[in-house]
Amino acid sequence: MDREDLSAAIIQEMGAVFMAALAEAWPSVLEADLAGMEQQLRQVGRAVFGPVVERAAAAQAAGLDRGACPACGGRLQSVDQARPRHLQGLVGDYTLHRAYYQCAGCGLSVRGVRAGARAARRAAGAGGGDARARAVARGLPRRD
Ligand SMILES: [Zn+2]
């Protein structure tokens, strides 16, 4: 499934989740005063948007590649392919599953590196590159 198909499938799935959550809450929303409506709809939003964040993060992770160490260019070794992280976000609660790597050369811990990072680093390293390419190469991987 390519990225556009994956995005369309996620939007379709989350649309159905929203409709089901709203249908379940609707009778109570109709009986509530304005403050009660907002409270109940906020709960509906949290129940729906938490899974939306999970799906969006998973779709991003599908495009990640371990790449090379951003500090020394060494080989990154997989530490954990799907380390769970439970978060209470602004729009809902969710669990992210992210791959973690450690550099065999310098020991730097790195979360998943975007596939484009290597190309940007290569461009930055060959003949200096431009400042934006260097910033992109430095900014994509995150340290723990
Ligand atoms: Zn390294």
Q: Distance from the CA of 107 to the center of ligand 1, in angstroms? A: 6
Q: Report the separation in Å between the CA atom of 88 and the middle of ligand 1, taken as the mean of its atom positions.
A: 32
User: Do 9 and 45 reside in the same domain of the chain?
Assistant: yes
Give residue 102 CA to ligand 1 midpoint distance, Å.
Answer: 8
Looking at the fold, whether 29 and 57 belong to one and the same domain comes out as yes
Q: Rounded to the nearest 5°, which phi and psi values hold at 114?
A: -65, 145
- Residue 84: its pLDDT value, please? 85
Average pLDDT, stretch 103-123? 61
In a domain, 12, yes or no: yes
Same-domain check for residues 19 and 44: yes
CA–centroid distance, 71 to ligand 1, in Å, is 5
Q: Which residue has the higher pLDDT, 7 or 136?
A: 7
CB 26 within 8 A of CB 68: no
Per the structure, the count of domains in the chain is: 2
State the residue range of the domain holding 29. 3-62
Is there a domain that residue 40 lies in? yes
* 13-67 pLDDT tens trace: 999 999 999 999 999 999 999 999 999 999 999 999 999 998 888 777 766 566 7
Expressed in angstroms and rounded, the spacing between residue 23 Cα and the centre of ligand 1 is 52
Contacts of residue 59, Cβ cutoff 8 Å, sequence gap at least 6? 3, 6, 7, 10
Q: Which of the pair, 63 or 110, is modelled with greater confidence? A: 110
Predicted local distance difference test score (pLDDT) of residue 64? 58
The answer to whether residues 80 and 132 belong to one domain is yes
pLDDT confidence of residue 63: 60
Report how far ligand 1's centroid is from the alpha carbon of 134 (Å): 17
